[in-house]
Each structure stands twice: as C-alpha cells, then as structure tokens.
Amino acid sequence: MSTHLKDMANQLVHLAKQSGASHADALSLVDAGESIQVRHAKLESVEREDSRGVGLRAFVETPQGLAFASASSSDVSEQGLKSLVKQVISMAKISEPDPDAVPPEGANHPTFEDMQAWACKHPHQAHGWNLEAAKEAALICEQAGLDYSDRISNSEGAHASFGETSIAYAASDGFAADYQRASSSLSLSVIAGEGECMQRDYAYTRSRQACDLRPANEVGVEAAERSLRMLGASGLSSRTSTVIFEPRVATSILGHLASAINGRSVLQKNSFLSDALNESIFPDFVHIHDDPDHPDGMGNRLFDGEGTRCQARTIIESGRLTGFLTDRYAAKRLHTSSTGHARRGLTGDIGIGTSNMMLSAGEMSQEEMLHDMGDGILVTELMGFGVNGVTGDYSRGAAGFLIEGGKLVRPVQGITIASNLKDMFANIAYLGNDVRWFGSVATPSIAIKNMMVAGD
C-alpha cells in the first residue's frame, strides 16, 4: 500500500512539472478506521471510515515572482490526477506572487540511510484490534464504571476506536518517502448522583497498539472515581490563589506555549511571545523538549510536512526560550533554519506544530505540593476558551477542589481562573513528579501562584 501511495505522489509531481510547474510537492493518503459505542451493555453504534485522497501544491514562475496554489481530490484514478494537476496549475497562474515563497527544493531531507534506520527502529505494527475485541473492551470498561458504586447513576457510553493511516510525500527535488501509523483508543463517560446533584466525568486511554492501552476496567474505575469525587461541588468566594493544574488539564498550558512560539504567528505579530526569543520566560527549573522519536509519544515522525528531517530540540532550557518553531517559509522570514515543524493536510497552507512535546518532571508528588503550598485550588476541568494569543490574557471556567491546610477539603465548580500567560509562565511555583502522556504531550501537575479566582 505505502509503495503505491509513494508512486501516486511521485506521479502527481511529474504531471505538475509536465504541465508547467517549476516546482511541486504532493501527498497521498489512505485513512481507515472503525469505532464502536456501547451503552448499558448494548451496542449503540458501529462506524467505519475508509478515505483516500491526494493533495498537490504547485509553483509557477510569473514576471513578479513565484506564485503557488494547492488543492486536493478523492479521485485517485489517472484521469482524476490529471484533473487535479490542471486545476492547481490554473489556480497558481492567477494567484498573487509571493516574493518570500519557498518551493520544495533544497530542504534538509533525511538520507536513505536515515530512512532505513528509522524503518528498522520503527517497524510498522498494526493496532491489533477488530470490532469484536473493541466491543469486548468497551463492555468491560462500562461495566467496571457502573459497578464501582451504587451512586453511579448512568452511563453516557463507552467508545472504542482503532485505525491505520498511510501517508506518502514526494517533492520535485527528488525526495519521496512514506510512513504508516496505527492508533487505538478507549474511553468512558459516566454520571454520578441524581437530580440536581449530578456530576459527569470521563476517562480515556490511547496508544498505537491496543495491547498497550490501559486495562479496560481501570479506565472504567477512573471515570467513576472522577465523577463521584465531584458530588456536592459548590461555588467559592473570589480570591487570589495558587492554582494546581492536574496533568490532564496541564496539557493546555503547553498548547498555549506551542501556539505562542509558532513562527508564523510570530511573523504576523499575533503572539505575546514575539519579542521573547532567548529571554527567561519560565523559572529556571522548567525544561520543555520536543522529541520526534519517543517510545511513549504518539507524534513520532522522521520528517515534517515539507520533507524536512525532524530533530529533537529543547524549546525551554532552564526557563529560557531557545527559539521559535518554524517551517521553511517562517524560517526564511525569521532569518533562521527550519526546525522541521511543518504540519500539512492534503490542501490549504502549511501549518506548524510540535511532534512530542514534554515538560520535564519536578521532584514533588502532588500530595507534597499540596502540603507545601497550604491553600489553593486544584483544577481538574477547564471550560470555554477565553485565551487571547496576541496579548496572553487568560480567563477560563474551571472546576476542581479547594485546598486548605495542604488537603483537598471539598469539590468546587462555577469558578473562573484568570491571569496573563506571561505571568502564568513566570509564576510556576512547583512541578509534580506525576508526568503522564496524553497522545503527543507529556506533562506533570503544574502549580501557578497569584492567579485570580472569580467565584460567588
């Protein structure tokens, strides 16, 4: 399958060159997956996705410079490929030239030896599930959640999914490569309590192979425990407080950082960190890395969406921002080298994103953090998205637990936590030793001092 996809991507590039493109690159993709939903021990839905498509980006020479366009098609017949090429070339000829356009030539591609070594280290392994196995896991997961306590009053269903994606990339400079990726997941959402005193929460697990997922009954128990512990949640008076983000919600903090150091956002002055290069924006005990080859990460990749070789890098070193994340276009405009962070779909402009982003652990357990800080808020859920990427202003709805005397004393809800992301980064007081992976992001608990908490 992957060889066929690579041949198709190469064919698109060849046809584009024949039709007048000075440069071109192409993607070919097959995505197949299945999912199953059970609720109250009954099968509720079965879905299958089986999609394939190709995407082409072509550059043409104009008197004013290079112009380009991109488009995609699900018609992968020979005539379909020719029609796509004709469409993209026509679009490129009427597009506005960009003097800073970077065609797919001269990227720092992985070598043949690099690709062989990667294939040996990462042989393709299937997800290992079928519908019956996924259904069995979902049933076990849901039953474990419902059986955990008689205060678990309802189930919103257990969901299991699995699939494989095959992708090939080819460029007019002769580089062509492909890869396959498998994934599987299991989740459950349950409701605790009754009437006006109900609380809902969920748990999930995700991995490349089904055999590496957390046990189904463990996921069910976690969903039940998270729902039960929020029973009786009430409001809170407004205050300034230290706020602990548990790992599941702390991933959002890394997401805000990744968006702020996106090279294209920096170019457009749409980031509150545009002028923060080489500055200390975190305390010196904070270290954040991006690793495209990590045994626990779901974002492993040898090359990015432009065929640039991905490399492990330290994003934050002892609190200092070491550089921005770039594709080749942003790198050219910022007068630096591409960091290999291009993200790309079948069509549209190239984006920028991390591979496996990791915040290094601290030395304290969450219990030790609570004891050391005395009073504060433990946030276990965030709602809404009141974050301004340009100014860094931050305001989100939250729920969790009131901390007094180093202990969790009661659940709280209906509060809003607010600050500015620059201040939040600088005011990190503790990092836990409880690092957890959530797909392609790993983080421990993060405690941030001097946040505003708006309540009753």
Note the pLDDT tens digit of each residue in 370-390: 999 999 999 999 999 899 999
Over the chain, what is the mean pLDDT?
95
At residue 49's C-alpha, the angle toward residues 43 and 51, to 5°, is 175
pLDDT at 195: 83
Task: Kindly report, residue by residue over 183-220, the tens digit of the pLDDT.
Answer: 999 999 999 998 888 999 999 999 999 999 999 999 99
Structure tokens at 192: 């605790």
Task: Kindly report, residue by residue over 147-191, the tens digit of the pLDDT.
Answer: 999 999 999 999 999 999 999 999 999 999 999 999 999 999 999
Query: What is the average pLDDT across 421-431?
Result: 97
Structure tokens at 221: 């128990």
pLDDT at 450: 96
User: Which pTM was predicted?
Assistant: 0.94
* Torsion sign, CA atoms 209, 213, 215, 217: negative
Given a contact cutoff of 8 angstroms between Cβ atoms, the answer to whether 28 and 180 are in contact is no
Structure tokens at 58: 């072509």
Given a contact cutoff of 8 angstroms between Cβ atoms, the answer to whether 234 and 197 are in contact is no
Task: For domain 2-34+47-110, give the CATH superfamily.
Answer: PmbA/TldD superfamily (3.30.2290.10)
* Torsion sign, CA atoms 361, 363, 366, 369: negative
Q: Which helix (H) or strand (E) holds 219?
A: helix 216-228
Q: Which helix (H) or strand (E) holds 386?
A: strand 376-387
**3-state SS class at 264:** helix
Query: What is the average pLDDT across 18-43?
Result: 96
Closest to 413 measured CA to CA, from 397, 429, 426:
397
pLDDT at 82: 96
What percent of the chain is helix, strand and coil (3-state, nearest 5)?
Answer: 25, 40, 35
Sheet holding 176-192, edge to edge: 65-73, 42-62, 23-39, 152-171, 176-192, 199-207
Given a contact cutoff of 8 angstroms between Cβ atoms, the answer to whether 263 and 326 are in contact is yes
Which amino acid would we find at residue 325? L
pLDDT at 53: 95
Mark out the alpha helices in 94-189 (DSSP H runs).
112-121, 131-147
Q: How does DSSP classify residue 211?
A: G
pLDDT at 348: 82
pLDDT at 2: 58
Closest to 168 measured CA to CA, from 83, 56, 78:
56
Closest to 338 measured CA to CA, from 104, 103, 107, 57:
107
Q: What is the length of the chain?
A: 456
Given a contact cutoff of 8 angstroms between Cβ atoms, the answer to whether 230 and 411 are in contact is yes
Query: What is the average pLDDT across 390-412?
Result: 97
Given a contact cutoff of 8 angstroms between Cβ atoms, the answer to whether 172 and 156 are in contact is no
Percentage of residues in the chain having pLDDT higher than 70: 99
Helices and strands in the chain: count of H runs, count of E runs: 10, 20
Query: What is the average pLDDT across 347-374?
Result: 93
Neighbour count for residue 251 (Cβ, 10 Å) = 20
Query: What is the average pLDDT across 7-19?
Result: 96
Band (246; pLDDT cuts 50, 70, 90): very high
Task: Kindly report, residue by residue over 285-332, the tens digit of the pLDDT.
Answer: 999 999 999 999 999 999 999 999 999 999 999 999 999 999 999 999
Given a contact cutoff of 8 angstroms between Cβ atoms, the answer to whether 406 and 372 are in contact is yes
As annotated, the residues of the chain forming the CATH 3.30.2290.10 domain(s) are 2-34+47-110
Task: Kindly report, residue by residue over 68-110, the tens digit of the pLDDT.
Answer: 999 999 999 999 999 999 999 999 999 999 989 999 998 999 9
pLDDT at 124: 86
pLDDT at 298: 94
To the nearest 10°, report the CA torsion of 80, 82, 86, 91.
50
Give the whole-angstrom CA distance, residue 410 versus residue 353: 38
Task: Kindly report, residue by residue over 332-347, the tens digit of the pLDDT.
Answer: 999 999 999 999 988 8
Band (279; pLDDT cuts 50, 70, 90): very high
Structure tokens at 81: 């490929």
Percentage of residues in the chain having pLDDT higher than 90: 93
CB contact set of 112 (below 8 Å; sequence gap of 6+):
none
Given a contact cutoff of 8 angstroms between Cβ atoms, the answer to whether 198 and 153 are in contact is yes
Closest to 178 measured CA to CA, from 356, 5, 310, 15:
5
Task: Kindly report, residue by residue over 103-150, the tens digit of the pLDDT.
Answer: 999 899 999 999 999 999 998 889 999 999 999 999 999 999 999 999
Task: Kindly report, residue by residue over 247-266, the tens digit of the pLDDT.
Answer: 999 999 999 999 999 999 99
